[in-house]
Amino acid sequence: MKRTFRTLAVLALTAGMLSAQEMRVSLANAQAYAAKHNASAQVNDLERQVAKANIWQNIAIGLPQVQVAGSYTNNIELPAQFIDFGNGELTKLTFGTKFASAGNLSASQLVFDGSYFVALLATKVVSETAELGYQKSLLEVREQVAQAYHLAVVTERNTQSVSSNLELTRKLLLETKALQAEGFLESTDVDQLSLVVNNLENSLAFLNNQKEVSLALLKLQMGVPQATSVVLTDALEQLVLFTESGSALLAQGFEAKNHIDYRTLAVNREGAKLNMQNEWMSFLPRLSLSYGANVNYVSQSANVWDPSGTQAANFAFSSWGLNASVPLFTSGRRVARVKMAQLKLQELDLLLANTESMLSMQYKLARAEYSFALNNYLSQKRNETLAKSIRDRVYAKFKEGVASSQEYTQSENQYQQSVSALLNAANNVLNKRVSLEKLLTTFN
């Protein structure tokens, strides 16, 4: 009884481990998982956090700065000087005390610095740039995951199709061999069907390898360990159901200024504008306040802070000041830097206008490619239905002895070609839709 319970416990634990190593994911689940675990997305997320932390670092530069310092000194050998007081002999005079300690408190406050105020505005630009970089990485990850998912689903469906046809043809081959053994058919019919079986077996072996590769690629894009088993829950039919609503996506308007690349370039232009303002600020003075408080202790005793020690004494002093720095002449260096900043701003203005035109062109191209892929998929779907109908009719005629093996082979090859064309069209239309959605920055 105990052995039986132990066996059941081991089986339950093993089943739990296998279940924990298996992931069942839809396309939406895969994209959501990748948004958190894809290496590129994680790196850009960290960059975004670094940019946010950098904001306070820049703000702190203009806030009060306070420092405390202290020291303790044991003068092993006191400094000395020999002086002749006029009697022809040198007298050694020792200066200082054996032990000394000092404490200092200093504070400073920036009063005015044009570059500081521009830097505060620039931190927002840095933060927005990092945020846009993170959003762009998510868009790219979603696209890469979708393409890998589509490829895996299409490969799986192709594998199933070839496997089904192989099983059907093997069955027909066995029946043909039996009829040939009885003398009803020639050996040519058996050879012809054997050739079809061999080709299907080779195709199936190739597709099984492709299936493993496509799943490995999907795991990489998702950020899933390769040892984990991934099961795709979205069938090809589910993924292509959108064909009925394809016109909705084609009718959606496009605004280039909403695209992530245009927004990123616009933020970079704002950064260039702030850089130009910063160069102008270099002509203005810089003002700051400072305050310092110091206390010193000296003694011949090791406890330098004991007022009753030998030759113990202490004294304190403090001060404050207003510091000003006014740039006067730099041989035209500042003027040249301002000019460079202005030219950079003009360059970005040109790039923005060109980017807007380029994105509009890309949208038209992506829209046209998706429209063509959509129509091609629907056409290939009709072709596959016709090819299957032809193959099935020839199959039935061959079993009845009305059609030849060569006719069946031709119909089977034609059907396989139509299936391949349909699956390629399905994969293409899915990927073209993803590309269009990425351009529109809207994934459904």
Reported as a pLDDT band with limits 50, 70 and 90, residue 148 is very high
Q: Which of 177-191, 223-237, 303-317 has the lowest mean pLDDT?
A: 177-191
Q: Which of 25-34, 175-184, 203-212, 244-253 has the lowest mean pLDDT?
A: 244-253
H-state helical runs in 223-320:
236-239, 246-251, 260-281
Q: Are 292 and 318 in contact (CB under 8 A)?
A: yes
* Mean predicted confidence (pLDDT) in 369-388: 91
Give residue 241's pLDDT.
73
**Tens digit of pLDDT for each residue in 164-175?**
989 988 988 888
By C-alpha distance, which of 385, 391, 200 is closest to 399?
391
By C-alpha distance, which of 154, 162, 155 is closest to 415?
162
Q: What is the largest CA-CA distance in the chain?
A: 147
Start-to-end CA span in the chain (Å): 56
Give residue 242's pLDDT.
61
By C-alpha distance, which of 362, 423, 351 is closest to 387?
423
* Mean predicted confidence (pLDDT) in 357-373: 92
Reported as a pLDDT band with limits 50, 70 and 90, residue 244 is low
Give residue 19's pLDDT.
44
- In order, the DSSP letters of 373-390 are HHHHHHHHHHHHHHHHHH
Reported as a pLDDT band with limits 50, 70 and 90, residue 442 is low
- Indicate whether 253 pLDDT > 50: yes
- Indicate whether 348 pLDDT > 70: yes
Q: Are 143 and 434 in contact (CB under 8 A)?
A: yes
CA distance 126 to 49: 11
CA distance 438 to 5: 55
* Mean predicted confidence (pLDDT) in 37-60: 84
Give residue 15's pLDDT.
39
CA distance 25 to 201: 30
* Mean predicted confidence (pLDDT) in 346-357: 91
Q: Are 99 and 300 in contact (CB under 8 A)?
A: yes
**Tens digit of pLDDT for each residue in 9-47?**
433 333 333 344 788 999 999 999 999 999 988 998 898
For the question of whether the overall pTM of this predicted structure is more than 0.85, the answer is no
CA distance 423 to 162: 12
- Indicate whether 144 pLDDT > 80: yes
- Indicate whether 401 pLDDT > 90: no
Reported as a pLDDT band with limits 50, 70 and 90, residue 304 is confident
CA distance 97 to 99: 6
Task: Tell which wins on pLDDT, 45 or 242.
Answer: 45
* β-strands 286-299, 99-112 pairing: antiparallel
Reported as a pLDDT band with limits 50, 70 and 90, residue 7 is very low
Mean pLDDT, all residues of the chain: 84
- Indicate whether 444 pLDDT > 50: no
* Mean predicted confidence (pLDDT) in 49-57: 80
Task: Tell which wins on pLDDT, 394 or 120.
Answer: 394
Give residue 12's pLDDT.
39
**Tens digit of pLDDT for each residue in 72-110?**
989 888 777 777 777 777 777 777 788 889 999 999 888
- Indicate whether 152 pLDDT > 80: yes
Sign of the torsion angle spanned by Cα atoms 341, 345, 351, 352 = positive
Instruction: Calculate Rg over the CA atoms of the chain.
Output: 40
Give residue 217's pLDDT.
94
